[in-house]
Amino acid sequence: MTHIIINGMVWNSEKMERYHFNQAELFSRLKLASAAYPILCNEYAEHQFMNMDLAHRYKAMAVNQYRNPFVVAQRSLLDDLRRGGYILYTRHGEATLGHDQPNLNFQDCMTQRNLSDEGRRQAIAYGDSIRRLRIPISLPVEASPFCRTIETAALAFGGENVQVDPNGYDIYRLSSGSLSPREQSNILNKLLTVLEKQPPQGSNQIIISHSFPPGVGLGQIPNLGTVVVKPNGLGNGYNLIDRISLEELEGQ
pLDDT at 202: 96
- % of the chain beyond a pLDDT of 70: 85
Number of domains observed in the structure of the chain: 2
pTM of the predicted structure, to 2 decimals: 0.73
Same domain for 51 and 109: no
Same domain for 217 and 138: yes
Question: For 90-142, what is each residue's pLDDT tens digit?
Answer: 999 999 988 899 999 999 999 999 999 999 999 999 999 999 999 999 999 99
Closest listed residue to residue 17, CA positions, set 83, 78, 80, 72: 72
Closest listed residue to residue 229, CA positions, set 72, 34, 28, 12: 28
Same domain for 32 and 156: no
Domain range for 173: 77-251
